[in-house]
């Protein structure tokens, strides 16, 4: 059993860091042994592994795909809430959606976690359509992707307990867009969830098959990647945007070295990045 950070040797931790970055892009810093121990402790105990090296050896075997999925799920951070940071959703409603008068709108939520972001986007679309009928063409779609398989299943169900539903969601929207299933569970209404398609996706892999988008939300995920991988993902996201499409990043994230791909649009408060033609 891996009982403390002391049982993770520097060499073992280095091997696990390399493996995690190779398979999903997550780059752990030098001092995260405690995080690995806390998140993988139950898996290591169940598998009767006394060292992290034994886990890495097992993960390298092709027949252990389920174990690999379980480890990635455990190491993925899924912190989220409704309308996180507020201003990106204000920008979407007031700046971006009024420009989307062509083909049916397509939005990609690239780290959808338990579903709060794509469902928040769906609520913004619904509010906009009610306030300005006829601006958006019918048939809007939201593609929501994540690498964490158990989280995706949760998101597809669209059910949240009272604590989760209260994080960032006002009572007016809660009453308007959710059905109460019992004293502690709420489910998003079907006309909002029906425009969201949840899919598994590892951002280090190709996402060209998802098609082209008017808007991409890629928030609070690139901070876990190396600079080179981050730039690679952003270049490929540029290729996935329609001409003049918009990219939203997290509050602590910024573009670096990609001024040929995106221009900054100041929105006071907040910014959004607009794809330049190439």
Reported as a single tens digit per residue, the pLDDT across 151-182 is: 999 999 999 999 899 999 999 999 999 999 99
Q: Pick from 223, 194, 193, 218: which is nearest to 207 by CA?
A: 218
Distance of CA 40 to the CA centre of its chain: 22
Residues of the chain with CATH 3.40.50.150: 87-275
Question: Minimal CA–CA distance to 24: which of 84, 79, 74?
Answer: 74
How many angstroms separate the CA atoms of 183 and 74, rounded?
29
> What is the rounded CA–CA span in Å between residue 8 and residue 147?
26
* Two structure tokens written together for 199: 């899919």
* Share of residues in the chain with pLDDT > 90 (%): 76
Question: What is the DSSP-derived secondary structure letter of residue 5?
Answer: G
- Measured CA to CA, the distance from residue 20 to residue 97 in angstroms comes to 37
**Residue intervals in the chain for CATH 1.10.155:** 5-75
CA 69, distance to chain mean position in Å, is: 17
Specify the pLDDT at position 209: 96
Q: Residue 1 pLDDT > 70, yes or no?
A: no
Residue with the larger pLDDT of the pair 108 and 103: 108
CATH no. for 5-75: 1.10.155
4 has a pLDDT exceeding 50: no
Does residue 125 carry a pLDDT above 90?
A: yes
Cβ contact 82:163 at 8 Å? no
Integer Cα distance of 162 and 180 in angstroms? 10
277 vs 151: CA distance, rounded Å: 35
Q: pTM, whole model, 2 decimals? A: 0.89
Topology adopted by domain 87-275? Rossmann fold (3.40.50)
């Amino acid at each position: 059993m891996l009982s403390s950070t002391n049982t993770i040797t520097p060499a073992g931790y280095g091997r696990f860091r390399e493996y995690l970055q190779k398979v999903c892009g997550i780059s752990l810093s030098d001092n995260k042994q405690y995080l690995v121990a806390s998140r993988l402790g139950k898996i290591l105990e169940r598998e009767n592994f006394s060292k992290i090296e034994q886990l890495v050896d097992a993960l390298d075997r092709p027949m252990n795909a389920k174990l690999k999925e379980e480890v990635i799920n455990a190491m993925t951070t899924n912190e989220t809430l409704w309308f996180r940071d507020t201003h990106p959703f204000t920008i979407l409603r007031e700046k971006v959606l009024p420009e989307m008068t062509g083909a049916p709108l397509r939005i990609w939520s690239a780290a959808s976690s338990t579903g709060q972001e794509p469902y928040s986007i769906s609520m913004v679309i619904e509010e906009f359509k009610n306030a300005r009928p006829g601006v958006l063409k019918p048939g809007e779609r939201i593609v929501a992707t994540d690498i964490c398989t158990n989280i995706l299943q949760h998101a597809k169900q669209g059910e949240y307990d009272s604590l989760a539903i209260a994080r960032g969601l006002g009572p007016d929207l809660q009453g308007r867009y959710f059905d109460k299933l019992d004293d502690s569970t709420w489910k998003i209404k079907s006309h909002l969830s029906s425009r969201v398609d949840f899919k598994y996706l590892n951002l280090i892999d190709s996402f060209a098959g998802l098609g082209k988008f008017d808007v991409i939300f890629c928030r609070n995920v690139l901070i876990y990647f190396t600079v080179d991988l981050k730039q690679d993902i952003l270049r490929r996201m540029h290729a996935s945007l329609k001409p003049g499409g918009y990219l939203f990043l997290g509050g602590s994230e910024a573009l670096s070295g990609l001024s040929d791909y995106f221009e900054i649009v100041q929105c006071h408060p907040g910014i959004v990045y607009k794809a330049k033609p190439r």
